[in-house]
Amino acid sequence: MLAIPGGTGSAAGVTLAAFEEPRLPAIQMREAIRQAMAEEMRRDPMVFLMGEEVAYYDGAYKVSQGMLEEFGPDRIVDTPISENGFAGLGVGAAMAGMRPIIEFMTFNFSLVAYDQVINSAARIYQMSAGQYKCPMVFRGPNGAAENLASQHSTSVESIYAHFPGLKVVAPSTPYDAKGLLKSAIRDDNPVIFLESEMMYAVKGEVPTEEYLVPIGKADEKRPGTDLVLISWGKQVVNCLKAAESLEKEGISAAVLDLRSLRPLDHDAIFAAVARTHRAVVVQEGFAFAGVAAEITARIVESCFDLLDAPVLRVTNRDVPMPYATVLEKQVIITPERIIESARKVMGRK
């Protein structure tokens, strides 16, 4: 019980709120990412940021705002619209001992640099028999925003998680974004760091002191006993909204935020399934050959006897993203679609 000096309750003129722990500062996702990069650049002179409009324009989404003034043009480097070129330059710099952060204005454009990411960054350690490491981060917004059509709405996690040699992470909160990015910058392997254009303005509490979030550890964002909703990145928000609505129907849904897709936290996934006996995997992107399919397969392989219902997936519709708003809404994931799948695994119409 909390001891209140001078008496108890309002009779002493003191409220419990006066003794609560002070809240952490709430900052936007873009600020959390900026803090992570700036702190690591102050800590290690080998870290630098390179990409389109990261310097004089302060970043396409203002993620790198003010960094040019502090670190100068040698460490905050504007590039031409040539993803294959500056991604390859980053690979060479990493092999030479630096720790580049390569920003893609959108991860759709990383496909232009696919050869550099896969054939060079992901494989150089193995191909050189460990003589060369490739400590670098490829970061930028992933997936759909609003009315950006098919060439600017691709979710690339399934593409990159397919290849050994890469680590793939996708934060859903400013806290996780900062801690994961700091871990990614310090990692000796190339890391794909997936953000969301729709979440740059989302606010969350972030400590002022130094902290890291380990790559490869999931986080249960909401407890539950009837089923678990498994997701990462932007879709964790939709899962939390769905879980809140399901609670009103008497369904207790846990929300497991994977945070990291490679490596994958199997223990957290299997523990959640063992506790709830039902699972729905939510992935922005296509169902065919997706990360959700991989997670579903692993649950079935390792937890089949614990399941009380088939594992269901909620994904984008299997078409290129339309431009028109009315059609886009038919393709993307919504809390309502997650709720529908949750009802199915619970045996409700």
User: Any alpha helices (H) in the chain, and if so which ranges?
Assistant: 29-43, 67-71, 83-95, 114-115, 124-127, 157-161, 174-186, 235-248, 266-276, 291-303, 325-331, 335-345
Catalytic residue among 31, 40, 52, 83: 83
pLDDT reported for residue 7: 43
229: part of which helix (H) or strand (E)?
Answer: strand 227-231
Q: Over its length of 349 residues, how does the chain's per-residue pLDDT go in tens digits?
A: 333 333 433 333 444 344 455 578 899 999 999 999 999 999 999 999 999 999 999 999 999 999 999 999 999 999 999 999 999 999 999 999 999 999 999 999 999 999 999 999 999 999 999 999 999 999 999 999 988 888 898 999 999 999 999 999 999 999 999 999 999 999 999 999 999 999 999 999 999 999 999 999 999 999 999 999 999 999 999 999 999 999 999 999 999 999 999 999 999 999 999 999 999 999 999 999 999 999 999 999 999 999 999 999 999 999 999 899 999 999 999 999 999 999 999 998 7
Task: Say what the pTM is.
Answer: 0.91
pLDDT reported for residue 289: 95
Euclidean distance between the first and the last CA atom of the chain, given in angstroms as a whole number: 45
pLDDT reported for residue 21: 58
Q: Judge contact between 206 and 27, C-beta under 8 A.
A: yes
Exposed / middle / buried, residue 252 (Cβ in 10 Å: 0-12, 13-18, 19+) = middle
Q: Which residues of 141-165 are buried (b: 16+ CB within 10 A; e: fewer)?
A: bbbbbeebeeebbbbbbbbbbebeb
Active-site annotation holds for 220:
no
Catalytic residue among 152, 157, 195, 294: 152
pLDDT reported for residue 23: 76
Architecture in CATH for domain 26-205: 3-Layer(aba) Sandwich (3.40)
As beta bridge partners, residue 169 has 193, 260
Rounded Cα–Cα distance for residues 53 and 230 (Å): 35
Strand-by-strand arrangement of the 253-257 sheet:
219-222, 253-257, 227-231, 279-283, 312-315
Architecture in CATH for domain 219-345: 3-Layer(aba) Sandwich (3.40)
Active-site annotation holds for 162:
no
**Tokens representing residue 179 in the block:** 């801690």
pLDDT reported for residue 275: 98
Q: Boundaries of CATH 3.40.50.970 in the chain? A: 26-205
Q: Boundaries of CATH 3.40.50.920 in the chain? A: 219-345
pLDDT reported for residue 22: 59
pLDDT reported for residue 6: 39
